[in-house]
């Protein structure tokens, strides 16, 4: 699993993980979720940096896309986020 370093200046945007002394920046969490999701190969994502902030893009541009596929992508991202948070 990929682990992103937490920069000191990003600590004011920290996420505190329940029952754990671990602090993780929101940017580090986003990067970990992106990397772990891509590693699984279930969905394709695009990442970018917006105003010095790491961001994930979910592109649903096909005119015949069905809602169930968008929901599946959402659930994959939620599940991956929970797994990353619980692994720390």
Q: What is the pLDDT of residues 50-78, one digit of tens each?
A: 888 888 988 887 888 899 999 999 999 99
Q: What confidence category does residue 20 fall into, taking pLDDT thresholds of 50, 70 and 90? A: low
Total count of domains within the chain: 1
Residue 49 forms part of a structural domain: yes
Higher pLDDT, 55 or 16: 55
- What is the bridge-based pairing of β-strands 46-50 and 53-57? antiparallel
Residue 31 forms part of a structural domain: yes
Instruction: Please name the residue that has the structure tokens 């999701």.
Output: 37
Residue 1 forms part of a structural domain: no
DSSP one-letter code for 2: -
Reduced to 3 states (helix: H, G, I; strand: E, B; else coil), residue 65 is coil
Contact of 44 with 67, CB cutoff 8 Å: no
Residue 22 forms part of a structural domain: yes
The whole domain housing 69 covers 8-86
Instruction: Please name the residue that has the structure tokens 């394709």.
Output: 44
pTM of the model: 0.70
Residue 66 belongs to domain with CATH number? 3.90.1150
Residue 3 forms part of a structural domain: no
**Tell me, what's the pLDDT at 35?**
94
Average model confidence (pLDDT) across the chain: 79
pLDDT at 10 over 80: no
For 80, the token pair is 């991956």
């Amino acid at each position: 699993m990929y682990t992103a370093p937490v920069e000191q200046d990003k600590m004011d945007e920290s996420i505190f993980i329940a029952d754990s002394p671990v602090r993780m920046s929101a940017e580090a969490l986003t990067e970990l979720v992106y990397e772990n999701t891509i590693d699984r190969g279930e969905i394709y994502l695009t990442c970018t940096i917006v105003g010095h902030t790491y961001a994930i893009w979910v592109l649903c541009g096909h005119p015949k896309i069905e809602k169930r596929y968008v929901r599946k992508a959402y659930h994959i991202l939620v599940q991956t986020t929970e797994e990353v948070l619980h692994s720390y």
